[in-house]
Amino acid sequence: MNSTALRAEKLKNIGTVPVSYGAVQRLRSTQNTSLVFKDGEHEKFYYEILGYIKHHDCYHRALVYLLGISGDTRDNFRRIYDAESGCVRTECLREGWQTSGCGRIIRMAFNLYCNGTPSVYNYEEQLKECQCYTVEDIFCCEYAVYFWKAVKIRYPEYILKGTRGLEERMLKIRMQGTRGDLEWFKKLLERHEKIKVMQVSEAFANKGTKKFFRMYVEVEKIKR
C-alpha cells in the first residue's frame, strides 16, 4: 500500500477538467437549502472546487465541503488531495502549516472519502494515530456542526430514512436583510407560539455588499 497517497475505495480517475457552469448551478440549487456554511469563503470554495472536478457524488461533496471549512485547508487543498489521481495525500498531516483544528478537519475528510483511517499507515505509532479518528477527538471542537453536515452529505440515504418523518414536518426558511433585520425576525420566529425553531445558521455576507446578509432557519410546526 502506498504510504503517501491512498485511493478512495471505489473512486478512481478523477480529473481537473472544468465542468459546465450550468452543472454547478444545478448542484447549487439542489443543495443550497440544506447545506450550512461556516462563512462566505467556505461556500465559495465548495462550489468553485466542484466546478473543477469530474465527480459530484457523495464522496467528493463531503471531501470538498470539509476541506473548505478552514482557510488553512482551503489554501493547502492540493497538498491534501490530488485531484488528478483521486488520492489523498496523508503526508500533509506532518507539514508545518498544520494546526489541531486542521488535523481534525482533514482526518474527518479522509475518513468519509476513503472509508477508513488512511494516515495510520504513515506512522510508526499506528494506535496513537488511529485514536485521532475517534468521534471524541474529531468532534470535540468548534467545527462539530459542519462535521455532522458532512456526514449527512456522505450518507444521505441513511439520514433521510431515519429523519423522513421529521423532514416532512420541517420548513426551511431563507432570510435576507441587514444583521438587525435578521436578528429581529429570528426573535419573532422564536417567540411564535405555533412553531419551534430547530436550527439557525450563521449570518452569511452577500457578495458585493457589507450591508446585507442571509440566514437559514429550520422550523417545525408545534402540534397541540
Who contacts 151 (Cβ-Cβ below 8 Å, separation ≥6)? Answer: 62, 112, 159
> CA angle 203-58-113, nearest 5°?
100
Sheet with 6-7: list strands edge to edge: 6-7, 87-88, 81-82
Eight-state DSSP code of residue 11: -
User: Which amino acid does the sequence have at 112?
Assistant: L
| Gap between the Cα atoms of 201 and 209, Å rounded | 19
What is the model's pLDDT at position 4? 36
Inter-residue contact 187 to 217 (CB < 8 Å)? no
What is the model's pLDDT at position 220? 85
User: Which amino acid does the sequence have at 215?
Assistant: M
| Per-residue cell: 29 | 440549487
Cβ neighbours of 59 (radius 10 Å): 21
What is the model's pLDDT at position 127? 87
Question: Residue 10 burial by CB count (10 A; 0-12/13-18/19+): exposed, middle or buried?
Answer: exposed
What is the model's pLDDT at position 19? 47
Mean pLDDT by 10 residues, the chain (224 residues): 39 42 56 74 92 85 96 96 92 94 96 93 84 92 93 79 55 88 91 86 78 86 75
What is the model's pLDDT at position 97? 95
| Gap between the Cα atoms of 90 and 5, Å rounded | 6
What is the model's pLDDT at position 5? 39
| Per-residue cell: 165 | 418523518
Q: How many CA atoms within 13 Å lie on the side-chain side of 35?
A: 26
What is the model's pLDDT at position 66? 97
Query: Bridge partners of 175?
Result: 215
| Gap between the Cα atoms of 130 and 126, Å rounded | 6
| Gap between the Cα atoms of 42 and 38, Å rounded | 6
